[in-house]
Structure 1
Amino acid sequence: MDRPSVRRLPRGRHALPPERVARAQRDRLMTAMAEVMSEKGYVKTSVEDVLKRAVISRQSYYQHFTSKLDCFMAAFQRSTALLERQIVEAAAGAGGPVERFDRAVTCFLETLVSDPATARLCVTEVYAAGPEALEHRTAFQQRLGDHVADILEAGTEAGRFTCRLIVAATATMVSGPLLQGDHDALRSLGPRLVAHVRDLKAAGLL
């Protein structure tokens, strides 16, 4: 995932518009939240940890976010929106349903490998953030299920429900390898998922 790195704004006087400064600060804080949380976990991550990583004052932090959860939710929504867009783009274009599903799964798994901080934010630490975060995760997962149903051209409600099950099961299966940093295990899920979906498609269950 092409997540912005934590970069400082120029020191001293500069001609940057205030809205650009505010946007850059907000992005740095969200990125810092993802990075620190991937190291310490959501519960042990403090606002002070995020401030130190982003190199931003507490006063500036509270101009953008009301709490640790508020910053986490903004980072989560930014990351899931980007991930969703990348998956849809990967599946677009030529090829049959299973081939396009293969590209979508590969995109998802490679994102987890290339950006473990954001991956943990989206997949595992969201459980520790509480009910509001879980509500947004559920909505995100449902959207992915709908995308998979469209990619696989699921023609019945039962087929679309199966696609939602596939997404939910995939989210569970990647959690362990993600926490362990096992990239090979993450990547190995792809071919097995695709083979299973191909069998379901051939059996008329999608």
Structure 2
Amino acid sequence: MRSTDATVPPATAAIVLQLLAGATPTPLPRHRHDLSRDDVRETQRARVVATAIELFADHGYSQTNVQDITKGAGVSRKTFYELYANKEDVFLDAYQAVGVLIGEAGLGVDDTDDLSLTPETMIEYAQRLLLVMAFAPAATRMFFLEALGAGPRVRLRRNQAIDEFVTTTAPALRDFRTRYEPDLPTLTIEQCHVAVAACIELITQYLADHEAATLALLAPRLVDAVRAIVIPNYHSE
């Protein structure tokens, strides 16, 4: 059984996204072929993850079982358990896959080092991030609406991802306050957490009543929430 601590390769993450976007899965060869064992396993892995994302989003994590996933992915139970111990492991892999895609799009936490925020660039960054989420609506619904009910390991990974994002964006948020509201105290890490939590809550509420494909429309509200916390007294001319 493969460890879910292993990084999801970008190529596998890309296949997951293609499948979520409606691409037809490539049939796996049944006879002699030139594919390596690793190639076949990564293809199977991508099909399992993409199928699980859609099922978790459509039916809920608790209502989806391994048989549902294997049937939808077109793999055997034996293959599933060679890849994963349980559906919680699949959820963790899905987290990694989408994280890889966000990083490949230049929107991951490693891409915030040189982020210089202005009211205009905040809108642009929020729109780009929301557009990536909108491109994989099932994954977005799963992470925002199902993650808290997907078991302790998933909740822990979710909290770690939020902590990582807050830690890496805090310098840009502090610099933003210094430039636009220099008389205010330095932004604390707790205040940065509040700003990110406000955005998460707005996205979660939006997804409860709207299609994920329209998420980019939420960008101005996210920016307003962040500005209310980071530069509460600033008004653009």
TM-score tier, shorter chain, comes to: 0.7 to 0.9
**Offset at residue 63 of structure 1 (A):** 0.5
Which residue identity does 1:32 align to in structure 2?
Answer: T
Identical columns (%):
24
| Residue 201 of structure 1: aligned partner | 231
Q: CA RMSD in A?
A: 2.9
> Hey, what's the Cα distance between the residues in 2 that align with 1:47 and 1:187?
33
The answer as to whether partners of 1:120 and 1:178 remain within 8 angstroms in 2 is yes
**What SS class does the counterpart of residue 44 from structure 1 fall into?**
coil
| Residue 163 of structure 1: aligned partner | 192
| Residue 63 of structure 2: aligned partner | 44
State yes or no: 1:132 paired with 2:153: yes
Segment drifting more, 94-103 vs 74-83: 94-103
Distance 1:103 1:45, change over 3 A: same
State yes or no: 1:99 paired with 2:120: yes
| Residue 123 of structure 1: aligned partner | 144
| Residue 8 of structure 1: aligned partner | 26
The number of residue pairs the alignment matches comes to 204
**What SS class does the counterpart of residue 69 from structure 1 fall into?**
helix
Which residue identity does 1:41 align to in structure 2?
Answer: G
The answer as to whether partners of 2:133 and 2:140 remain within 8 angstroms in 1 is yes
> Hey, what's the Cα distance between the residues in 1 that align with 2:111 and 2:92?
25
Segment drifting more, 101-110 vs 58-67: 101-110
Distance 1:178 1:112, change over 3 A: farther
> Hey, what's the Cα distance between the residues in 1 that align with 2:100 and 2:29?
31
Which residue identity does 1:43 align to in structure 2?
Answer: S
Distance 1:80 1:123, change over 3 A: farther
**Structure 1 runs not aligned, ≥5 long:** none
Distance 1:67 1:188, change over 3 A: same
| Residue 34 of structure 1: aligned partner | 53
> Hey, what's the Cα distance between the residues in 2 that align with 1:94 and 1:127?
30
Distance 1:142 1:95, change over 3 A: closer
> Hey, what's the Cα distance between the residues in 1 that align with 2:159 and 2:233?
29
**Offset at residue 83 of structure 1 (A):** 2.8
| Residue 167 of structure 2: aligned partner | 146
**Offset at residue 184 of structure 1 (A):** 8.5
State the TM-score, normalized to the length of structure 1: 0.83
> Hey, what's the Cα distance between the residues in 2 that align with 1:165 and 1:183?
23
**Offset at residue 134 of structure 1 (A):** 0.7
| Residue 114 of structure 1: aligned partner | 135
**Offset at residue 119 of structure 1 (A):** 0.4
Segment drifting more, 137-146 vs 5-14: 5-14
